[in-house]
């Protein structure tokens, strides 16, 4: 199970990598393995801003559909449109090519409420 040390995590299994005031968001390796084969990623492109904990899309797998929750508040500045035609990349590379959105953070202090790698490992029992 890959749980990078340089990321922050939500209890709903999203991750965020922050560079400057931009956060790249996706789902964790644990989440994609629990979901199984991902067949569709639906990112709400009508949404230009999100609040922490708000749904910004869904992931559809063979077994189930799961909501995607914003780990922080901010302005959505980019959607990974590659996922529209290549959703399975989330299974193959959840922390790289499988990213979902990029958010310009409006309240960086919200990062303090997220889990670090050790906290996430404890959450999932690893």
Average pLDDT of 57-74? 95
Average pLDDT of 62-84? 95
> Could you give the domains of the chain?
22-107 (2.40.50.100)
Average pLDDT of 68-78? 97
Average pLDDT of 87-95? 96
What is the spatial distance between Cα 120 and Cα 8, in angstroms, rounded to a whole number? 8
Average pLDDT of 1-7? 94
The residue assigned the tokens 């960086």 is: 108
**What's the confidence (pLDDT) of residue 116?**
97
- Residue pair 106/23 in contact (Cβ under 8 Å)? The answer is no
What is the spatial distance between Cα 1 and Cα 5, in angstroms, rounded to a whole number? 12
Q: What percent of the chain has pLDDT over 70?
A: 100
The pTM of the full predicted model, rounded to 2 decimals, is 0.95
Average pLDDT across the chain, whole number: 96
Question: Buried b / exposed e across 59-78, counting CB within 10 Å, b at 16+?
Answer: bebeeeebebbbbbbbebee
Q: What percent of the chain has pLDDT over 90?
A: 94
Average pLDDT of 104-113? 96
Residue range 14-54, pLDDT digits in tens: 999 999 999 999 999 999 999 999 999 999 988 899 999 99
**What's the confidence (pLDDT) of residue 126?**
86
């Amino acid at each position: 199970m890959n749980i990078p040390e340089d990321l922050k995590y939500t209890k709903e299994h999203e991750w965020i990598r922050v560079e400057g005031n931009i956060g790249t968001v996706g789902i964790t390796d644990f989440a994609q393995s629990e979901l199984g084969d991902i067949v569709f990623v639906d990112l709400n492109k009508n949404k230009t801003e999100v609040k922490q904990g708000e749904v910004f899309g869904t992931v559809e797998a063979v077994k189930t559909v799961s909501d995607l929750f914003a780990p922080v508040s901010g302005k959505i500045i980019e959607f990974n449109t590659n996922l529209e035609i290549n959703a399975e990349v989330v299974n193959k590379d959840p922390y790289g090519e499988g990213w979902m959105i990029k958010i310009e953070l409006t309240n960086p202090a919200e990062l303090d409420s997220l889990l670090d790698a050790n906290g996430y490992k404890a959450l999932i029992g690893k």
